[in-house]
Amino acid sequence: MKLDLSPTSWGRVIAVTAAGTAFFIAVAFFVDSFNFPYLSPEAVWRAQMTDLMLPLVLGGSFLFFLMWKIRQLAIAQRDLSVIAATDSLTAVLNRGAFSMLVEAYLEETRKQEQTRSGALLIIDADHFKSINDRLGHDCGDQALKLIAQAIKGQLRGSDIVGRIGGEEFGVFLPGVDPSQSWLVAEGIRRRIREMDFSPGGRACPLSVSIGGTSFSGPTTYEAIFSAADRRLYAAKSNGRDQVSFDPAEATLVSQSSVATVH
DSSP state of 200: G
Return the ∠ at Cα 97 (arms to 164 and 81), rounded to 5°.
Answer: 135
CA-to-CA distance for 185 and 204, rounded, in angstroms?
Answer: 22
Known catalytic residue: 113? no
Of the candidates 34, 61, 64, the one whose C-alpha atom is nearest the C-alpha of residue 47 is 34
Of the candidates 11, 17, 12, the one whose C-alpha atom is nearest the C-alpha of residue 55 is 17
Integer-rounded Cα radius of gyration of the chain? 29
| Beta pairing partners, 161 | 171
Mapping DSSP to helix (H, G, I), strand (E, B) and coil, where does residue 216 land?
Answer: strand
Q: Which residue out of 42, 167, 194, 222 is catalytically annotated? A: 167
3-state helix, strand, coil in the chain (%, to 5): 55, 15, 30
CA-to-CA distance for 262 and 248, rounded, in angstroms?
Answer: 10
Residues catalogued as catalytic: 167
